[in-house]
Amino acid sequence: MKGLYFDGEKAVYREDLPKPVCREGESLIRILMAAVCNTDREVLKGYRPDFRGVMGHEFVGVVEESEDETLIGKRVVGELNAGCGHCLYCRTGREKHCPDRKVIGMEGKDGCFAEYMTLQTHLIHRVPEELPTEKAIFTEPLAAAFEITSQVHISPDTKVAVLGDGRLSLMITQVLSLTGTDLTVIGKHPEKMEKFRSFAKTGTEQTVTEADETFEIIVDATGAEAGLQLAKRLIRRQGTIILKSTYAGTANVDMSYFVVNEITIKGSRCGPFEPALRMLAQNRISLPEIELFDLKEHEKAFAYRGFKAGFRL
């Protein structure tokens, strides 16, 4: 089987990978399309030092083998985190926090940058017929955007900022804009900011600082440590900072500032797939096209600076 294997240092294109075999409760998925996430790039930089295996966690595929016959031959997407099934977290609906979880393409489980992948059947979601594969591929990052609205109440008169002008920011911005709130996106790249204009006000660190603006809720989706530093400067006292960035390395911040000003810091990771699939199927999320590469061209795909890179399998 062809696939992209992380050997602890780099991604290696291989054609000799064994086709995965389903374990109990798993389905076999033939991958149609996979997408590169910033997290994959962080894996290459050492974000998951113990991981060895097939990379990737964003995919659309077709189920070939499953105990659930209704899934066979159907296009599907899937969640990343497979829990142990019996710990405190798994028993209380928090499988993604299971301490023994396997995470596809990141921890103890091969990912989707390959012709086939196995996944726990209960993590699989069917793609609605009318939703094309090129759009369904955005389900996982869009679900991560919906996690914010399931964690924090955003009332329509709250002043909210999203930091970052990348893919995840664009999805978060569209999800938060549905609340009708006063929303500002703070980015760096004028050409990228164009895409945000129909959903939010846009600005740069400089324009926002000059205007002396502060925010009640700030979502950091910069993917870098600098995001937290900027959020700290722009957050109102007793405000809430939602952290979406995961990166290799640590942030160096003065935590006392958060104590004294009673700032809430909330981590936010994977979110619910069904709302994301509904919104995509209803065509209510506007996204630029994904640029597709061959697995062999992985270096180009990882270096791609446009909206979203992926692999056609």
Give residues in contact with Zn ion (CB under 5 A). Answer: 37, 58, 83-84, 87, 90, 98
Query: Which CB, 84 or 253, lies closer to Zn ion?
Result: 84
Closer residue to Zn ion (CB): 164 or 239: 164
Beta carbon nearer to Zn ion, 37 or 63: 37
The distance of closest approach from Cβ of residue 11 to Zn ion in the complex, given in angstroms and rounded to an integer, is: 16
Query: Strand pairing partners for 34?
Result: 59, 311
List the one residue out of 270, 43, 245 whose CA is nearest residue 164. 245
Least spacing, CB of residue 36 vs Zn ion, in Å: 9
Give the nearer residue to Zn ion in terms of CB position, either 58 or 110: 58
Distance CA(309)–CA(292), nearest Å, equals 6
Closest to Zn ion by CB, 63 or 77? 77
The CB-of-38 to Zn ion minimum distance in angstroms stands at: 7
Min dist CB 140 to Zn ion, Å, is 5
Least distance (Å) between residue 244 CB and Zn ion: 11
Q: Are 254 and 262 in contact (CB under 8 A)?
A: no
By beta-carbon proximity to Zn ion, the closer residue of 40 and 165 is 40
CB of 56 to Zn ion, least distance (A): 9
DSSP bridge partners of 119:
27
Question: Which residue type occupies 265?
Answer: I
Give the number of other CB atoms < 10 A from CB of residue 130.
10
Q: What's the CA gap between 221 and 74, in Å, rounded?
A: 33
Cβ-based nearer residue to Zn ion, 84 or 226: 84
**Integer angstrom CA distances of residue 117 from 100, 209, 267:** 20, 47, 29
Strands 26-35 and 58-65: antiparallel
Tell which residue, 201, 172, 204, has the closest CA to residue 187: 204
Pairing, β 291-293 against β 309-312: parallel
Q: Is residue 221 within 8 Å of 169, Cβ to Cβ?
A: yes
Plot region of 240 (φ>0 → left; ψ -120 to 50 → alpha; else → beta): beta
Nearest to 311 by CA among 114, 120, 124, 174: 114
Minimum distance of Zn ion from residue 83's CB (angstroms): 4
